Structure 1
Amino acid sequence: MDASCDLEVDVNGEETFFVHEKVVSSYCGKLRKLLGKSKYPPKNLKVIFNDFPGGPESFELISRFCYNNGKIVINPYTAPRLFCTAHYMEMNETVTGSHNLVEKTEKFLEEMKFWSWPELLYALKYVVVSSKILQNCLDSLVARLIFAESTPSCPSISSPESSGLRLSTDSKSTESGQTQTRFLRSTWWFEDLVKVLTPDLVKSFVKSIVFHNFDHGVTSRFLVYYHKSRFPTAGPKEKREITESVIDSLCLLNQNSVSCKNLFGILRVSSNLNINKISKTNLECMIGSRLDQATLDDILVPSPHGSNYLYDVNLVLQLVKYFLAGKDGGGGGGDLLKKVARLIDLYVAEVAPDPRLKPYKFLAIVKALPECARDSNDDVYNAIDIYLQVHKGLSDEEKTSICACLNYDKLSSQKYNHLMQNDKFPSKVTKMALEAQQLNLENLFLDMDSQKRSALPPCETETKDGRHTQVVLYAKQVVPRGGKMDIVNENEKMRAHLEGMQWRVVELEKVCKKMQTQMTKILKSRLSRQTSAKSLPRLCS
């Protein structure tokens, strides 16, 4: 070691340099400030840097600059390191007032739009200290992607490895080979950027992509690829940062370009990461807006730690809420709404056997969608049947409140018959179902004209206030009104009433069909006579 080297510099604990204090400090403002405050004699000076940008290699570069009277070769591979180090060491002025390294490197970096793809990737690692230079670097990268997309035959844009992959597939003439070639051509840059983009840079990169109107579909696939590539080897804190960055970046894209399945994949791995509330809400909103694309396996998300339920029921309730909000409240009974209703009915049947699922939570799932979403309540009935079978300790009041979500008018005859004989349902519920069916019969009878009524099987008649009330007695033959009914003790009697009611409904349907057939024949006959009369000459008519 040269005896005149009176300054010892420890760089990030990785390497120690012995330099001349006057030579280096004449160019480095930070060193001048530190040494000016030092109480130690000149021959015992030591400086420790724990966060030196670029490590020992970067310090060696600025040492050459200082020992060469402020001269150094600046190129795309040295400029990023020199720029960051110059900022850190405050090399924007010198003792002589010249050789401003910050200004020199900044001017050189302004021309990075002409750099090659590898040079831009290298620069991206070091230019974070300046938002202006960073934005120029990101814009230049996106410009390269757009150029590669518009000129797919140019292999020099991508890295050598990806170019080899593309050229090897270009020789295939099959349709699958061409599809693979197009896929590789649009995704060749994924691996390169995964290696250099930090979670903090991902969102800035996507903002630049959106600004330059690059393909959102390809961008969403990159974000998913980034998450899958970086997540497994990251620590808990970095996993949370990666996930939040990817979610926030996906929100910037056209939502039609984001896959629902990929969103659920991110949701599953983030459930126990304690990500921030904004990112969590954004993810749930994105999934909820396309809940009609989800499958049963997608929404069967295990409940987070500390929850009593087998599945995350609260999550599904939130997804339905966001779906309805995006569909103007879910009114109108559209196809998407009905599709979501079928999905939720399947979900309710899956969670019903959970012995820890409370009645109010089960009821909340069933009633999460408006009545117009379901054409049939058969699946809801099946889920309630399973729930009552597992939760045998419920009181009659609790069972009745659960069954209140059933629309008896939307039950098929098969499910209705099963309900009448199902002893898991309280008698009050069975009575309400019978009364609903009786009301339907009355309405059906009232809608008939007199000719159809006369064709019905004979029944008792009664006059009230001088008006014929056959409809009331017709319904009374099926289900007696008033008084208390002990359904449990009168199952056989009820079954007989039900059979009689079903027989009468069948007879009504037969009469209606017969009347429709006769009316059709009459109309056709009249129409044919009118047509033949018009076709005859006037004298012959």
Structure 2
Amino acid sequence: MASEAPSTPSKRQAWFCTTGLPSDVVIEVDHMTFHLHKFPLMSKSKKLNDLITQQEKEQLSLNKLNYQNDDDVESDEEELEEQEQCHVSLANFPGGVETFETAAKFCYGVKIELTAGKVTSLRCAGEVLEMTEEYSENNLISKTEKFLTLNVFANIRDSIKALKSCENLYPLAENLGIVERCIHTISSKASLYDPTSFGWPVNETPSAVAGGATAAKSRNPWIEDLAKLSSPMFNRVISSMRENEINEDIIETCLMHYANRCFPGINRANRNPPVSSSSSSMIPSEKEQRELLENIIANLSPVRSSRSPATARFLFGLLRTANILGVSVARKSDLESKIGAQLDKATLDDLLIPSYSYLNETLYDVDCVERILDYFLECYEEGEIEGGNVRGLTAVMVVGRLIDGYLSEIASDSNLKPEKFCELAMSLPEQARLYNDGVYRAVDVYLKAHPWISEEDREKVSGVINCEKLTLEACTHAAQNERLPLRVVVQVLFFEQLQLRQAIAGTLLSAEAGAADDSPQPSINRQSNDDVEGEDRRVATWRATKRENQVLRLDMDSMRTRVHELERECSSMKKVIEKIDSVGTPQNEGNKGWKKGSFGRKFGCRFKTQVCDSHESSVVETRKGRHHSKNTHQH
């Protein structure tokens, strides 16, 4: 059997059976003309038998009529042979030329090879040609049904391949129940797989997860096969999984693969679209892409969980694509809620969502990040973060650092309003920031990038800093920062002084306690000659501690000098502020002295003013007293 190409492109291709016998039937399928023989076709196909028999009867009646009307009939054998050859046209044949060729070979007794991708079209071809068991034994329908039952429906990958081939066989494949059986098999077989063996994440950079991705494909290649289905067919499979209560992790895993295939831009590490052999006409329109993305988002698990297979990076990629395609507000809200449940697993790069709306003047979509943060805090307050209170507190602190980094990144945007900056900075609870160095850095960047804002706005922006939570390094920088308002600088100086005092007091107490606890007591500890070595070790420890105390005293002297300098600076600033008060309130000229509490009211400091009124002499005397008692104890 062989096919013969046409001499010109306009002609049909011809297919001849190389049996040596002249063909007596011509069957046209699409662009191909098959020159075959009646007997093998009519013995297997009831449809072809009926068509050929009917055509023979019509031809016979026509020939009789022509012979009766023609008195001068001359025998023309060639013309009679052409008239005896039947012509059958099979329009819209399932599977096209290739499938009919295989069916024709089956009629001739040629052994055919069945595969998961071809068996569905052959099953439909057998239905069209009526190749039933009642008409002929061991016919095409029974052969393909047996292969489907024993081979295809016993394996999830073969079922997916068969389902994929059904996409071009509608509605016949649906009417024959092949589609439903494939979907049922996929759904039931998927429940047998362990979602923890999928090897996520699947959307990171190839170099970062090359080994994991390869392992995932080798363990569960059916996930990749499922992602090749069309959107309607894929949605039916997901719906069937939900009806059968398949593990949500498995469903989300399938959705992630499908989304990455349909929208390559979701993975920011790989923006190049996959190479495809399809023509440009097959590229879906923007509307079709939007509907596809909405279906993917709708099929994601509605349960907010920080342990979802859908990673934060993948969800942020979906959100960016949703903004570009103009997905409905409801679907974007669902996506933002799901992102909020695992915001602590996001990165700063994830949060930098470009602003696609002309209504937003800022470079990045700050409103979106604020909504996501609200969803996260809602999960935290309701106790929905897995791991209990400790895990929740850790997650909040991670998000606190993340938001501070985001604030530093967007602070240089000239279109970012002070109100929006303060609103986002103050959205976090107090326990989210162990130190305020991050938010101080963001404020410093904002003030540097917005030198034109009013003094009132400068006060408002600087007010998000809790000076009490600044480290000594941040305090040192802030005390010399000319961009900060005077009130904030005063607060910083005070708390820096307070931290130094507490450090000195703590050092003194620990040094005294260490010396008392580690002093040698040989008369008590030496109970026998066997304890000599242990006693020597204790003496050595005591001597080492004594040397450490001497080093600590040197450090304390340095700190004491710094405290004295800060106290002098604070005292001079009080005098300056007193002058400002006296100039600003002339009606109170009779009372120009420093009013207790006026400092705190004017500058909004959250501390008692008498702390700054300590005198150097009293501090030195107190410490001298401690040293005197300590020396007495040692001697």
| TM score, norm. by length of structure 2 | 0.49
Instruction: Report the CA distance between 1:304 and its aligned residue.
Output: 2.4
- Tell me the residue number matched to 2:225: 192
- Tell me the residue number matched to 1:524: none
- Asked if residue 291 in structure 1 is aligned to residue 343 in structure 2, the reply is yes
- Tell me the residue number matched to 1:324: 377
For the Cα contact (< 8 Å) 2:226–2:234, is it kept in 1? Answer: no
**Inter-CA distance 289–140: structure 2 relative to 1 (3 Å threshold):** same
Instruction: Report the CA distance between 1:282 and its aligned residue.
Output: 2.7
Which one of the candidate residues 113, 116, 121 is aligned to 2:160? 121
For the Cα contact (< 8 Å) 2:156–2:222, is it kept in 1? Answer: no
Name stretches of at least 5 consecutive residues in structure 1 with no aligned partner: 18-22, 28-45, 68-72, 92-101, 153-175, 445-474, 488-493, 520-541
Q: How many residues were matched structurally?
A: 426
Structure 1 residues 111-120 or 200-209, which shifts more? 111-120
Whole-angstrom CA distance in 1 between matches of 2:448 and 2:418: 13
Instruction: Report the CA distance between 1:397 and its aligned residue.
Output: 1.8
For the Cα contact (< 8 Å) 1:142–1:212, is it kept in 2? Answer: no
- Asked if residue 247 in structure 1 is aligned to residue 280 in structure 2, the reply is no
Aligned-partner residue type, residue 376 of structure 2: F
- Asked if residue 205 in structure 1 is aligned to residue 264 in structure 2, the reply is no
Instruction: Report the CA distance between 1:291 and its aligned residue.
Output: 0.7
Whole-angstrom CA distance in 2 between matches of 1:337 and 1:501: 34
Which one of the candidate residues 328, 350, 365 is aligned to 2:409? 350
**Inter-CA distance 79–187: structure 2 relative to 1 (3 Å threshold):** closer
Correspondence list, 1:127-276, <5 A: 127=166, 130=174, 134-145=179-190, 183-194=216-227, 196-209=228-241, 211=244, 213=246, 216=249, 220-230=252-262, 231=264, 232-233=273-274, 235=283, 237=285, 239-251=289-301, 255-276=307-328
Which one of the candidate residues 361, 372, 378 is aligned to 2:431? 372
Correspondence list, 1:362-511, <5 A: 362-427=421-486, 429-430=488-489, 433=491, 479=574, 484=580
SS of the equivalent of 1:303 reads coil
Whole-angstrom CA distance in 2 between matches of 1:267 and 1:512: 63
String of CA shifts for 1:197-249, please: whole Å, max 9, x gaps: 112333433344453645826x5454433333344358353544554344334
Whole-angstrom CA distance in 2 between matches of 1:389 and 1:273: 36
For the Cα contact (< 8 Å) 1:434–1:479, is it kept in 2? Answer: no
Whole-angstrom CA distance in 1 between matches of 2:482 and 2:210: 62
Structure 1 residues 207-216 or 509-518, which shifts more? 509-518
For the Cα contact (< 8 Å) 2:248–2:301, is it kept in 1? Answer: no
Which one of the candidate residues 327, 333, 336 is aligned to 1:281? 333
- Asked if residue 312 in structure 1 is aligned to residue 345 in structure 2, the reply is no
Aligned-partner residue type, residue 400 of structure 1: E
Whole-angstrom CA distance in 1 between matches of 2:333 and 2:318: 13
| TM score, norm. by length of structure 1 | 0.56
Aligned-partner residue type, residue 365 of structure 2: D
Structure 1 residues 500-509 or 235-244, which shifts more? 500-509
**Inter-CA distance 140–423: structure 2 relative to 1 (3 Å threshold):** same
- Tell me the residue number matched to 1:341: 400
SS of the equivalent of 1:125 reads helix
Name stretches of at least 5 consecutive residues in structure 2 with no aligned partner: 1-13, 15-24, 35-46, 52-88, 131-140, 168-172, 198-208, 265-272, 277-282, 503-569, 584-598, 600-604, 630-635
SS of the equivalent of 2:434 reads coil
Instruction: Report the CA distance between 1:321 and its aligned residue.
Output: 1.4
**Inter-CA distance 479–363: structure 2 relative to 1 (3 Å threshold):** same
String of CA shifts for 1:314-341, please: whole Å, max 9, x gaps: 2211221111121126998822111100
Instruction: Report the CA distance between 1:504 and its aligned residue.
Output: 5.1
Structure 1 residues 379-388 or 325-334, which shifts more? 325-334
Instruction: Report the CA distance between 1:354 and its aligned residue.
Output: 1.6
String of CA shifts for 1:159-183, please: whole Å, max 9, x gaps: xxxxxxxxxxxxxxxxx99989864
Whole-angstrom CA distance in 2 between matches of 1:177 and 1:311: 32
Q: CA RMSD in A?
A: 6.3
Structure 1 residues 379-388 or 408-417, which shifts more? 408-417
SS of the equivalent of 1:275 reads coil
Whole-angstrom CA distance in 2 between matches of 1:276 and 1:112: 43
Instruction: Report the CA distance between 1:392 and its aligned residue.
Output: 1.0
For the Cα contact (< 8 Å) 2:472–2:496, is it kept in 1? Answer: no
String of CA shifts for 1:377-424, please: whole Å, max 9, x gaps: 222122111111111111112222222322233233443454444332
Whole-angstrom CA distance in 1 between matches of 2:324 and 2:330: 16
Whole-angstrom CA distance in 2 between matches of 1:506 and 1:296: 47
Whole-angstrom CA distance in 2 between matches of 1:506 and 1:340: 43
Aligned-partner residue type, residue 227 of structure 1: A
For the Cα contact (< 8 Å) 1:203–1:248, is it kept in 2? Answer: no
Whole-angstrom CA distance in 2 between matches of 1:342 and 1:295: 10
**Inter-CA distance 354–434: structure 2 relative to 1 (3 Å threshold):** closer
String of CA shifts for 1:62-102, please: whole Å, max 9, x gaps: 999xx9xxxxx9x9877744887999x9x9xxxxxxxxxx9
For the Cα contact (< 8 Å) 2:100–2:125, is it kept in 1? Answer: yes
Aligned-partner residue type, residue 226 of structure 2: L
String of CA shifts for 1:287-321, please: whole Å, max 9, x gaps: 21101111222222333264432322222112211
**Inter-CA distance 201–367: structure 2 relative to 1 (3 Å threshold):** farther
String of CA shifts for 1:12-47, please: whole Å, max 9, x gaps: xx7899xxxxx89x99xxxxxxxxxxxxxxxxxx99
**Inter-CA distance 119–374: structure 2 relative to 1 (3 Å threshold):** closer
Whole-angstrom CA distance in 2 between matches of 1:276 and 1:511: 72
For the Cα contact (< 8 Å) 2:161–2:225, is it kept in 1? Answer: no
Structure 1 residues 509-518 or 76-85, which shifts more? 509-518
Whole-angstrom CA distance in 1 between matches of 2:125 and 2:621: 94
